[in-house]
Amino acid sequence: MTDCMEIARKIVEETCPQRRLKLENIQMFSEIIRCRKFHKGDIILADGEVCTCLSYIEKGLTRQHYVKHDKDMTEHISCEGGVVFCIDSYFHGTPTHLVIEALEPTVIWEIPRDRMEALSETNADLAYLYRRFMEDSLVLSQIKADILRFESAKDRYMRLMNMFPGIIQRAPLTYVASYLQMSLETLSRVRASI
């Protein structure tokens, strides 16, 4: 298993490639993160719970989903290097309607909101890191919204394949279709046409 300082460096390097954070600040960050391991099918965050952490995926694959009109809908799929959390619950401290599930054996590093915010108030490096988590999440949400609004089914699939090949290769096709807001039949036709 990766130790806290090693994974803290990795998270910082991936999240802040344009800025070198001071070693002592990375050390402070490493002291607040904690590792959790999940088996395939385990629930990381359940419907009705409050999301209090950002979860960085060191290893594995996760899916955020909800039920609408008795239909299971995939909101997000993420793999190594991704940060997952339920935005509304995280910021408002309210129970979530989303479920975060491990689709394969998964190792995440939790970054508690209260501790990260406390460090951010007095530390410019860690405030920058925290802001980058939020910026990356917002940009990814905007990209997904634009893809769903403006791109054809084939273009949506190609974009996902180019941006996140691990998801295409590892997630069940039912979840990929739901994530891309298309039927399984449409996804099959798109895949056959490529």
CATH number assigned to the domain comprising residue 99: 2.60.120.10
Q: Tell whether 189 and 128 lie within a shared domain.
A: no
What is the rounded end-to-end Cα distance, in angstroms, of the chain? 39
Return mean pLDDT, the chain.
94
Q: Tell whether 133 and 187 lie within a shared domain.
A: no
Q: Kindly state whether residue 82 falls inside one of the protein's structural domains.
A: yes
Q: Tell whether 133 and 98 lie within a shared domain.
A: yes
* Confidence band, pLDDT 50/70/90 cuts, at residue 143: confident
pLDDT in tens, 149-176: 889 999 999 999 998 898 999 999 999 9
Task: List all residues 6 or more positions away from 8 whose beta carbon is below 8 Å from its beta carbon.
Answer: 26, 27, 29, 30, 33
Q: Kindly state whether residue 145 falls inside one of the protein's structural domains.
A: no
Q: Tell whether 102 and 46 lie within a shared domain.
A: yes
**pLDDT value, residue 106:** 98
Q: Kindly state whether residue 122 falls inside one of the protein's structural domains.
A: yes
Decide if pLDDT at 1 tops 70. Answer: no
* Confidence band, pLDDT 50/70/90 cuts, at residue 191: very high
Task: List all residues 6 or more positions away from 131 whose beta carbon is below 8 Å from its beta carbon.
Answer: none
pLDDT in tens, 88-123: 999 999 999 999 999 999 999 999 999 999 999 999
Q: Tell whether 118 and 173 lie within a shared domain.
A: no
Q: Tell whether 37 and 107 lie within a shared domain.
A: yes
Q: Is the pTM of this model over 0.75?
A: yes
Instruction: For residue 129, give its domain range.
Output: 4-140
Q: Kindly state whether residue 146 falls inside one of the protein's structural domains.
A: no
Q: Tell whether 136 and 156 lie within a shared domain.
A: no
Given a contact cutoff of 8 angstroms between Cβ atoms, the answer to whether 12 and 21 are in contact is yes
Structure tokens at 143: 């990209």
Give the number of domains in the chain: 2
Decide if pLDDT at 84 tops 80. Answer: yes
Q: Kindly state whether residue 121 falls inside one of the protein's structural domains.
A: yes
Q: Tell whether 103 and 129 lie within a shared domain.
A: yes
| Of the residues 140, 160, 185, the one at which a domain ends | 140
Decide if pLDDT at 145 tops 90. Answer: no
